[in-house]
Amino acid sequence: MNKKLKTIRTRHVSRRALERYDVHLTKRDQEKIIGKIQSRDQDVRFLFKQTNSRSHYEIDYEGMTFRVVYNKVHKCILTVLPTKKKS
């Protein structure tokens, strides 16, 4: 993946986290979350596979629970989704 696309994706994830969770996820935070997904950390819960390369995860990080879409081909987070609210 080229550097410009990686920067755009990192910025997108930061914006969505700020918008949906009121939290600023830095590039380093995103790298830590990616590491947790790749190592199948106990704080990571697999939700479902969207395509052969995209999967949805729920991750406990820094005292918060995030829903993310992870791309295993590019090894990056594509977006941060809002958590489903229980009624």
Is the residue at 87 inside a domain?
no
Q: Are 24 and 15 in contact (CB under 8 A)?
A: no
Is the residue at 33 inside a domain?
yes
Q: What is the pLDDT of residues 29-81, one digit of tens each?
A: 999 999 999 999 999 999 999 999 999 999 999 999 999 999 999 999 999 99
State the chain's mean pLDDT as an integer: 92
Residue 86 neighbours by CB distance under 10 Å: 4
85 — pLDDT class (breaks 50, 70, 90) = low
Is the residue at 86 inside a domain?
no
Is the residue at 50 inside a domain?
yes
- The tally of domains found in the chain comes to 1
Is the residue at 12 inside a domain?
yes
State pTM to two decimals.
0.88
Is the residue at 24 inside a domain?
yes
Show the domain range for 22. Answer: 3-81
Q: What is the pLDDT of residues 35-46, one digit of tens each?
A: 999 999 999 999
Q: What is the pLDDT of residue 19?
A: 94
Residues 6+ apart with CB under 8 A from 32: 61
